[in-house]
Amino acid sequence: MRVHVVDPSAYTPPYDHALCAALAAAGADVELITSPFAYGPVPEARGYGVREAFYRHSVGAPGSRLRLATKLAQHAPDMARYRRAARAADVVHFQWLPVQPLDAHLLPRGRPRVLTAHDLLPREPRPGQRSAQRRLYRRMDAVVVHSEYGRGRLVDGLGIDPAHVHVIPHGAFDYLVAQPDERALPQELAAVERPVVLCFGLVRPYKGIDVLIEAWRAIEDAELWIVGLPKMDIAALRAAATASVRFVARFISDAELPAYFRRADLVVLPYREIDQSGVLSTALAFGKPTVLSAVGGFPEVAAAGAAQLVAPADPAALRAALVALLGDEAARERLAAGARAAAAGTYGWDQIARRTLALYRALL
């Protein structure tokens, strides 16, 4: 079976490469169709091909208006070019389609089309973007979501045909645990002796970092590390933080990432909304005890014994959970064991590949 996995803007290289490697290991002939990733190196291709067919002439710094403008100018021609190239595939599996009003009219024809709904709907939508996303879903032969919560949102909330919506979990990023060029923590972080609570990933408003900083005010015998590239102004967050909060406000490469997760005693994701999270998938792979807001698909992970839930946007509840777990090593180990079991089972890539290939065969 010839499969194209398509992520035009390279929004999720870790997921793209993990899925492609798993599908290839399960016997599929896989090619990842994407664009150069501007922030750093990406995982090595294992058993599949990679073609950087999108945005080859982009200029400007990552995230800049110039880069966005040059990508937008190339999008329709690149999608039209890929539409012809898609004839070589039996199944086309999109991971993202970033210009929804255009993309609905530029999809390949004559073969099954699958879309993974990483974000069920755009979080910071431009005018008309949500309705265009709904049209895209309806033009797919199948939509993959990562949780039963996500399935409900599309079926009950958007009216998508339930026969077209399939739950396939987001796999644990186990490849990150064995990085050949793993780098040590920066010296000032390596010298920390107190327990460490890690909040990792792109800093965005929906991730509830303000709630976490408020919850942290009364915690003095541990450190909170907020690590990741800001996608918002964090001046107010810095001003509100106590002395035991450290910001590492930049992109963290795969080679750097393991040291942060290995050092963490707890991982915390205080999101206001989410379906599933690549950061949570990383915490599972490292077997880390995790505190999650009870939003989106997070309760499904907690039900497997892999995390503890707290009410969203509730600093007092979050503080109580963090304090209790920091003081209870046995409770942390129970959650860690649950995370390791989940990463090896339901959230393992071999099982995800089998379920994905079964979906492709049904469509064919």
Dump pLDDT digits (tens) for 85-116: 999 999 999 999 988 888 989 999 999 999 99
Tell me the pTM. Answer: 0.89
| Res 123: pLDDT | 66
List, for residues 324-341, the tens digit of each pLDDT value.
999 999 999 999 999 999
Give the CATH number for residue 225.
3.40.50.2000
Residues 120 and 208 in one domain: no
List the domain range (segments joined by +) for residue 64.
2-169+348-363
Residues 8 and 68 in one domain: yes
| Res 324: pLDDT | 96
Give mean pLDDT, residues 236-263.
96
| Res 59: pLDDT | 86
| Res 275: pLDDT | 86
Locus of tokens 């990792």: 200
Instruction: Give burial (CB, 10 Å; 0-12/13-18/19+) of 332.
Output: buried
Residues 154 and 255 in one domain: no
Q: Categorize the per-residue pLDDT at 265 as very low, low, confident or very high, splitting at 50, 70 and 90.
A: very high
Give mean pLDDT, residues 341-361.
96
Residues 212 and 303 in one domain: yes
| Contact present, 358 and 316 (Cβ < 8 Å) | no
Q: Would you say residue 356 has pLDDT above 80?
A: yes
What total number of domains does the chain contain?
2
List, for residues 276-324, the tens digit of each pLDDT value.
899 999 999 999 999 999 999 999 999 999 999 999 999 999 999 999 9
Q: Categorize the per-residue pLDDT at 30 as very low, low, confident or very high, splitting at 50, 70 and 90.
A: very high
| Res 132: pLDDT | 82
Chain mean pLDDT for the chain: 94
Instruction: Give burial (CB, 10 Å; 0-12/13-18/19+) of 310.
Output: buried
- Distance (Å, whole) CA 363 – CA 178: 35
Residues 30 and 92 in one domain: yes
Q: Categorize the per-residue pLDDT at 125 as very low, low, confident or very high, splitting at 50, 70 and 90.
A: low
Return the closest-CA partner of residue 124 out of 13, 207, 206, 64: 206
> Residue 350 is encoded by which pair of tokens?
């071999």
Written as one letter, the residue type at 100 is Q
pLDDT above 90 covers what percent of the chain? 83
Residues 164 and 193 in one domain: no
| Res 131: pLDDT | 82
Residues 143 and 207 in one domain: no
Return the closest-CA partner of residue 141 out of 103, 102, 107: 107
Written as one letter, the residue type at 286 is F
| Res 263: pLDDT | 97
Residues 278 and 244 in one domain: yes
Angle, CA 83 vertex, CA 275 and CA 8 arms, to 5°: 40
Give mean pLDDT, residues 16-29.
97
Q: Categorize the per-residue pLDDT at 62 as very low, low, confident or very high, splitting at 50, 70 and 90.
A: confident
List, for residues 126-166, the tens digit of each pLDDT value.
777 778 888 999 999 999 999 999 999 999 988 999 999 99
Q: Categorize the per-residue pLDDT at 122 as very low, low, confident or very high, splitting at 50, 70 and 90.
A: low
Give mean pLDDT, residues 41-69.
89
| Res 42: pLDDT | 85
Contacts of 26 (CB under 8 A, 6+ apart): 350, 353, 354, 357
Residues 45 and 64 in one domain: yes
User: What is the strand order of the sheet 196-200 is part of?
Assistant: 245-248, 223-227, 196-200, 266-269, 290-293, 308-310
Residues 183 and 165 in one domain: no
pLDDT above 70 covers what percent of the chain? 99
| Contact present, 74 and 54 (Cβ < 8 Å) | yes
Residues 202 and 313 in one domain: yes
Q: What are phi and psi of 20, to 5 degrees?
A: -60, -45
Which run of H or E residues covers position 167? strand 165-167
- Distance (Å, whole) CA 225 – CA 194: 12
Residues 140 and 251 in one domain: no
